[in-house]
Amino acid sequence: QVQLVESGGGSVQSGGSLRLSCAASGSTFRYYSVGWFRQAPGKEREGVAASNSDGSTDYAESVKGRFTISQDNAKNTLFLQMNNLKPEDTAIYYCAATPGYRSWWSLLSPNSWNYWGQGTQVTVSS
């Protein structure tokens, strides 16, 4: 069983930056696909950035060039660096993990991920 705990959320002004962390226990990220998702009030959960077990990554169009996903396998921690934040980035952010490789077309889908964190709130004011 894998437990995921997010941290690093908060309130920032438009144009600011935040770095989210997702600490995993119970297994290693090395052979997992991992991802970041978000859910704004009244909206469905959507994929933000994900890294496949082979190291390939994918980003939602809305965050390309602003967000970067990375991981420290030694510390079993996943990161999401978020720069130039916009009010529309306001949401609860969740990390997720699943063992093995995911089809590229499903990497940003919130479906069929085995493990989820509890979420961390990100609020961006204009």
User: Per residue in 28-83, pLDDT tens?
Assistant: 778 899 999 999 999 999 999 999 999 999 999 999 999 999 999 889 999 999 99
Q: Residue 115 — very low, low, confident or very high, per pLDDT cuts 50/70/90?
A: very high
What pLDDT was estimated at residue 104? Answer: 85
* C-alpha 5, offset from chain centre: 12
Instruction: State the CB neighbour count (10 A cutoff) for residue 71.
Output: 18
What pLDDT was estimated at residue 60? Answer: 98
Q: Are 38 and 92 within 8 A, CB to CB?
A: yes
Given a cut of 80, is residue 27 above it in pLDDT?
A: no
Instruction: State the CB neighbour count (10 A cutoff) for residue 14.
Output: 13
- Residue 61 makes CB contacts below 8 A (sequence gap 6+) with none
What percent of the chain shows pLDDT beyond 70? 100
